[in-house]
């Protein structure tokens, strides 16, 4: 084993998290597009460990299934009825090789802002100091509730005292225990075997390992982290929201420094797995979520939510929701459009105002400009779909597909009753209800003949303002409507 590769990383994720007041295990609550545990696993994997173990207990099956989904290579270690962080670490060691040597990092499943870079820094410091144990510490503006780091006159770490056990002088110490450690594997295994549960809580504490190591004459060091947020855990929904906001601030700053214009970072939310190209602009009230990719020179927003989608170079999306869809280069979407899964808008295409699409492949330069539902459709390049068109794809039992050929034109207020095909270069007259195919170059007119019935208003609506207006217009023009009668 060479370089800064740990022998193992152990993530403690067995706690119940009662203060969350939730049926969902605490470590499965999400910020930035990942679960708290997902963030912890990502940071751990960034160190390149030979082994990664996650300790579980509360809602064991839910948490274990999530770990298997996020990181199939991770080991699941079950904590037994003995409580405490020390026992949790001991249970993890029981799932690791008995002859494991090197450094074991221990971290937590509810510390989402911790980064792989910080863990690598802890690892390097641990090795350079040749310590048996290195504890990550931080300076807290308000250390209330945290364990304090005790040092001797030389600055060496001599112990950790919990807040409730600290005297007045110790409580004035602002250097806190993060609970994140680097251990020599043999030291950790040996010390845990000698740590008991003889305390008020009846728990086996990981902090007691430091006292055992010190008594054995082994070196215990501290690794100060200058970013206290990386040591903050989530215990309730207030802290969840706070850390979510801090994480998002870091995401928006990261992308602005990479060449993305974010007009209002306070109302812009970007998940951690998002990718954004240079010179793209995000306008206020925009959410870019999941594994979304946005190209260069795009304009997104205002009031846009994009999830797990691909937006091409130079595209524009405004006041829209886009989910599992693709928007091609130079295409435009919105306002007030809903692109559902399976939508694929070609380069230079348009999905306009109050349009909903689903499983729709819309070709290069094609337009669906206004007030349309377009589901289960293939629309060829350059085609135009008139306002108010409905792709009637569902017959009550199954979904069917409509195909619109290249450079074809569908008139406004048409209903295309699938399955139906409109050939290339064909027309559908406005107001048609199409039930049969249209061949290339044809025009389809599928609507009833117009009937104008004389005297209907006088007979059906006598005495109304409408009837009076009709009589006045007839007196003025001398037209009783005979010229417009049926058959005229």
Structure tokens, 485: 């009668």
Output the six-digit token pair for 211. 């006292």
Are residues 413 and 430 in contact, defined by beta-carbon separation less than 8 angstroms? Answer: yes
d(CA 255, CA 232): 24
Which is nearest to 421 in space by CA: 457, 388, 391?
391
- 304 has which bridge partners? 286
Decide if 439 is catalytic.
no
**Active-site residue, from 58, 95, 163, 370:** 370
Instruction: Report the catalytic residues.
Output: 370
């Amino acid at each position: 084993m060479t370089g800064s590769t740990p022998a193992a990383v152990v993530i403690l994720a067995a706690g119940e998290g009662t203060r969350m007041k939730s049926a969902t295990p605490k470590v499965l609550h999400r910020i930035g597009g990942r679960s708290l545990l997902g963030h912890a696993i990502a940071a751990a994997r960034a160190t390149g460990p030979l082994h990664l173990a996650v300790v579980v207990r509360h809602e064991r099956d839910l948490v274990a299934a999530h770990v298997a989904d996020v990181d199939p290579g991770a080991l699941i270690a079950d904590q037994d009825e003995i409580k405490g962080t020390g026992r949790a670490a001991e249970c993890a060691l029981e799932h690791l090789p008995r002859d494991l040597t090197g450094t074991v990092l221990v971290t937590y499943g509810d510390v989402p802002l911790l980064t792989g870079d910080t863990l690598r820094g802890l690892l390097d410091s641990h090795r350079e100091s040749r310590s048996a144990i290195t504890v990550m510490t931080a300076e807290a503006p308000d250390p209330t509730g945290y364990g304090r780091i005790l040092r001797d006159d030389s600055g060496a770490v001599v112990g950790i005292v919990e807040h409730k056990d600290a005297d007045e002088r110790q409580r004035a110490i602002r250097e806190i225990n993060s609970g994140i450690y680097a251990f020599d594997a043999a030291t950790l295994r040996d010390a845990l075997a000698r740590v008991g549960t003889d305390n008020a809580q009846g728990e086996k504490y990981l902090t007691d390992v430091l006292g055992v190591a010190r008594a054995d004459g082994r070196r215990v060091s501290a690794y100060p982290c200058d970013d206290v947020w990386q040591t903050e855990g989530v215990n309730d929904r207030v802290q969840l929201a706070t850390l979510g906001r801090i994480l998002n601030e870091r995401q928006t700053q990261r992308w602005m420094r990479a060449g993305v214009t974010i007009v209002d970072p306070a109302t812009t939310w970007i998940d951690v797995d998002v990718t954004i190209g240079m010179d793209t602009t995000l306008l206020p009230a925009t959410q870019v979520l999941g594994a979304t990719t946005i190209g260069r020179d795009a304009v997104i927003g205002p009031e846009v939510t994009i999830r797990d989608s691909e937006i091409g170079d130079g595209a524009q999306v405004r006041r829209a929701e886009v989910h599992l869809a693709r928007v091609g280069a130079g295409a435009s979407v919105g306002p007030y459009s809903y692109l559902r899964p399976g939508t694929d808008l070609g380069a230079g295409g348009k999905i306009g105002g109050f349009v909903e699409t689903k499983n729709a492949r819309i070709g290069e330069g094609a337009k669906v400009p206004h007030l349309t539902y377009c589901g289960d459709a293939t629309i060829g390049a350059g085609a135009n779909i008139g306002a108010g068109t409905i792709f009637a794809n569902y017959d009550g039992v199954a979904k069917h597909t409509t195909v619109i050929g290249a450079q074809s034109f569908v008139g406004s207020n048409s209903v295309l009753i699938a399955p139906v095909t409109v050939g290339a270069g064909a027309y559908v007259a406005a107001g048609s209800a199409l039930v049969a195919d249209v061949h290339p170059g044809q025009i389809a007119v599928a609507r009833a003949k117009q009937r104008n019935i004389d005297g209907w208003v006088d007979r059906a609506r006598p005495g109304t303002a409408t009837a009076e207006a009709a009589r006045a217009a007839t007196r003025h023009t001398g037209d009783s409507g005979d010229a417009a009668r049926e058959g005229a």
